């Protein structure tokens, strides 16, 4: 990834996040919140399992534990052509360059589907990945952010795992660069 291109993407997404106004969320867990109107009572056990997946990722971020973090990704993970091994390399870079990493997620919509014996969740979310720059300076920075992005998760081996996007590679992503927010 070209550092300048990634910086532009991060700045654009950070600006969009700042300009977008949301109603105050209702806290549910450390890394995950629900905006008013999301049917959190509809399927409480599934909601708890989904929140657990995000919290599992958050715990791995806090520990800088790449192996634990990769467990939250489905074996068939695909985000615009990026596979698990690609995301692992991106996380290695993030851990190398940033300290005190954390994420935030505000769920605004939730859709559960069952098809061909596979349970999937589509979670519309606004959030961000935050840290401090270059570990030495400690300056706070937004590493990545997203507005109304849909997280695709699949129930795999008894737990919810990040699946990526619903389709194949996007044709608008320049060669050699990563699409927006491949990490969640």
> Would you kindly state where each structural domain of the chain is located, as residue ranges?
3-164
Please name which of 12, 50, 28, 5 lies closest in space to residue 144, comparing C-alpha atoms.
12
Single pTM value for the model? 0.70
Identify whether the C-beta of residue 124 lies closer than 8 Å to the C-beta of residue 35.
Answer: no
pLDDT recorded at residue 9: 54
Phi, psi of 80 (to 5 degrees): 50, 40
Which segments of the chain does DSSP mark as H helices, in order?
3-19, 44-63, 66-70, 84-97
Per-block average pLDDT, block size 10, for the chain (184 residues)?
A: 55 43 38 54 78 93 96 91 92 92 90 88 90 82 88 92 63 42 59
CATH topology (fold) of 3-164: Nuclear Transport Factor 2; Chain: A, (3.10.450)
Contacts of 30 (CB under 8 A, 6+ apart): 55, 58
Give every strand in the sheet of 140-156, ordered side by side. 26-27, 32-34, 98-115, 118-133, 140-156, 159-164, 73-78
In 134-180, at which residue ranges do the beta strands (DSSP E only) sit? 140-156, 159-164
Contacts of 94 (CB under 8 A, 6+ apart): 101, 129, 131, 143, 183
Rounded Cα–Cα distance for residues 130 and 148 (Å): 18
Beta bridge partners of 155: 160
Please name which of 180, 60, 59, 56 lies closest in space to residue 127, comparing C-alpha atoms.
180
pLDDT recorded at residue 19: 36
pLDDT recorded at residue 172: 42
């Amino acid at each position: 990834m070209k550092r300048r291109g990634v910086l532009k993407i991060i700045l654009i997404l950070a600006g969009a996040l700042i300009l977008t106004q949301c109603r105050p969320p209702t806290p549910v867990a450390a890394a995950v919140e629900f905006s008013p109107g999301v049917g959190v009572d509809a399927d409480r056990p599934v909601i708890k399992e989904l929140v657990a997946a995000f919290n599992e990722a958050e715990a791995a971020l806090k520990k800088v534990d790449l192996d634990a973090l990769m467990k939250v990704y489905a074996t068939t993970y695909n985000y615009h052509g990026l596979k698990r091994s690609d995301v692992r390399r991106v996380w290695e870079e993030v851990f190398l360059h940033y300290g005190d990493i954390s994420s935030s997620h505000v769920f605004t919509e939730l859709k559960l589907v069952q098809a061909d014996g596979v349970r999937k969740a589509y979670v519309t979310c606004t959030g961000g990945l935050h840290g401090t720059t270059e570990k030495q300076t400690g300056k706070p920075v937004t590493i990545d952010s997203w507005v109304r992005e849909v997280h695709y998760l699949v129930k795999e081996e008894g737990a919810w795992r990040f699946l990526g996007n619903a389709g194949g590679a996007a044709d608008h992503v320049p060669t050699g660069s990563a699409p927006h927010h491949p990490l969640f």
